[in-house]
Amino acid sequence: MHGQATLSRKEFLNLSATVGAGLVIGFHLLPKQLMGKADAPPAFEPNVWISIDRDGTTSIVMHRCEMGQKIVTTLPMIVAEELDADWSMVKVVRANYNPAYGPQNTGGSASIRTTYDKLRKAGAAAREMLITAAAQTWDVPRSQCRTENGRVVHRGNGKILSYGDLVTAASKLDIPEEVPLNKPADFSIIGTDHMPSKDGRIKVNGDIRYGLDFTMEGMLTSVIARCPVFGGKPGRWDEKAALAVSGVRHVVQVSAGIAVVADDTWSALQGRKALDVEWDEGPGAALSSDEISKLFREKADSKGEVLRDDGDVPRALKGARRTVEAVYELPYLDHAPMEPMNCTARVHDGICEVWAPTQTPGDAHEVARELTGLPGDKVKINILYIGGGFGRRLRTDFVRDAVEVAMKVPAPVKVMRTRDEDLQHGFYRPASYHVLRGGISRKKAAVAWSHRLVYPDGAWVTGGAADINYAIPNVYVDHHTVDIAVPVGAFRSVAHTATGFVNESFIDELAHAAGADPYQFRRELMKNINPRLTAVMDGVAKQIGWGQAQKGRGQGIAAHFSFHSYAATAAEVSVDKSGRYTIHRLVAGIDCGRIINPDGVRAQMEGAVTLALTKAIHGAITIRNGRVTQSNFHNYKLLRFDEMPEVEVLLIPSDEAPTGVGEPGVPPTTPALTNAIFAVSGVRIRRLPIGKVATEG
């Protein structure tokens, strides 16, 4: 049943080490002299991840941040697999911040990829200790014992001891020097479809509590008046009118602006409305989307910092039978999660407590520690359920807001944002500008690829630009940055949300210039250098029936590698006489290595498709007079039901290590759609959002 992979004593000690203070389900074995009948331990706690009670309840710690990606179920599945636990007896404990768990930040599609081996070893170590405890209880060799479904079974006589029966005996044992891991062929939990969710019920019945739902005795509510212009600050302000509003308790200045603190949300909002503030808007007041686009175009006229220079692109372009030139432009995007930013904090008696729907509890801890000057063990970060993140909650500005206000108010305080405030004071997916040139040889092969990127300083847009998925002999990529006051941050799939669209659109243009089928053109260029991506693309092409679209429909395809995973999308679209397009079908495929929770992967892919289509069709943050012009979902639209296509998710089986899932489905979705629009209408989409571009073509 077990393979030869092992966990050394040193690795296990590192795994179980507790750093700092605070409440931890830690590695602890009680001294043997305390293990008498009267002092029997209440639970077997072999490491920071697992605790088994006498009734057999197995508590498994989920240490990352849950925001809809199903890791409350998926991560414990890894531990339970190696522990051979009874899933019906597994209780998931959502951890608050503690360095004992290692990194707890949730982003970069890394939750499973970076913890898979660690969690397997934790489960295996506990399993081996339970086997030893049973063998000692029965006075038989360990080899005669096996585990299954939360119990140890004697191979010869069939005797059974539940894990709960073994709590006392297992707690007396030393850590094993080596720990075998279960063979993948024997997995009964990992890879199981329709695994019962450990938090599905509370999500369905409404018992789940997000940050905005959090409340505690004596809590006040605060909203902050913020300068509408990026980089602006309060000039003159008068708090008298705000303090006159019933329910308003305090008006205090914080780094983000002027905070109004009240008994309830309505009073805080009315107090902010009454606040008399004159803003020093600063130089950013002249900024506009048109000006940003102009700055990008001007930068694109000169050579940038080189990212890749293979072969001789100028010579290849000069000798090409056909050349293609195109400019692609993408706007700023807001994450627009359903739950606006919020955080609750309390600073009292030398302690700082924070309750935050955050993707970065470690960074939140650091911000609170720096602001209060308290030692790390006096700062506690409680991680709440997140009502949508998409990268926005990787920032800590909303944590800073709450801690700063709480430092000036003698009560716990929730600082919250309204929808318009959230949209107009975000950290946006950066706008970007792309100039591409390509060459096709007389043999109808791609022989040259040139890509120049221009984007705001401090952004991440180059990922996926230099490492294209195609074997083109001459490749040149360079980039420029421009200093722009608009704050930027990570967006779901980060740079790949831009480069995936640009690369997969332009390769489609080269296929058209070569007179080749877009799918076969891609396949010939990638099959010898990227067989796994080729296989995923083959899968979605087959599933959508490539080349067999109904009359009046066009098909588009795109493939992209990101976050260590391989993803491809195929779409089927029609365009009516008025130019209105309809997405009839969409197939999204992924090879993400070994699949832990198929339901979770499908949900992530469906979510990625929905987000990508939302932003492709509607998404754009525009700037005028230094301000964001969008204020709510009437002018920053989300995808409507009648715009959502039938989505089929194709999971490619793999024995490779698990890789990213949350983000890889985003990059190929938009170009699959726009390539399908081109196939049926002849309109090439080079600027997003699509909006009415197709109808105007």
pLDDT on residue 8: 43
- The structural domains of the chain, with segments of one domain joined by +, span 9-205, 211-282+347-416, 289-332+428-696
Q: Which of 70, 72, 58 is nearest to 122 (CA)?
A: 58
The tokens 């966990």 sit on which residue? 7
Give the span between the Cα atoms of 23 and 18, in whole angstroms. Answer: 10
pLDDT on residue 692: 63
**CATH C-level class of 211-282+347-416:** alpha beta
Pairing of strands 565-575, 581-591: antiparallel
pLDDT on residue 33: 31
pLDDT on residue 655: 97
Q: Which of 115, 207, 108, 36 is nearest to 565 (CA)?
A: 108
Report residue 13 as tokens: 């000690």
Report residue 693 as tokens: 């571009």
What residue ranges in 428-524 does DSSP mark as E strands?
432-440, 446-456, 474-482
Taking the CA atoms of 70, 75, 76 and 82 in sequence, report the sign of the dihedral they define. positive
pLDDT on residue 177: 74
Give the span between the Cα atoms of 506 and 522, in whole angstroms. Answer: 11
Assess whether the region 9-205 and the region 289-332+428-696 belong to the same CATH fold.
Answer: yes
| 649 close to 602: Cβ distance less than 8 angstroms | yes
Q: Which residues contact 421 (CB under 8 A, 6 or more apart)?
A: 223, 226, 340
Residue type, 106: T
pLDDT on residue 679: 97
Residue 400: φ, ψ to 5°? -60, -45
Annotate 63-116 with DSSP letters as a single string. -S--SSS-HHHHHHHHHHHHHT--GGGEEEEE--S-GGG------TT-TTTTTH
Kindly report the CATH number that applies to the domain delimited by 289-332+428-696.
3.30.365.10
Low-confidence ranges of the chain (pLDDT < 70): 1-39, 692-697
3-class SS at 214? Answer: coil
Residue 449: φ, ψ to 5°? -145, 120
| 303 close to 384: Cβ distance less than 8 angstroms | no
CATH 3.40.50.720 correct for 9-205: no
pLDDT on residue 246: 98
Give pLDDT tens digits for 322-343. Answer: 999 999 999 999 999 999 999 9
The tokens 């063979």 sit on which residue? 183
> Is it true that the peptide bond before 689 is cis, omega within 30 degrees of 0?
yes
Residue 9: φ, ψ to 5°? -60, -40
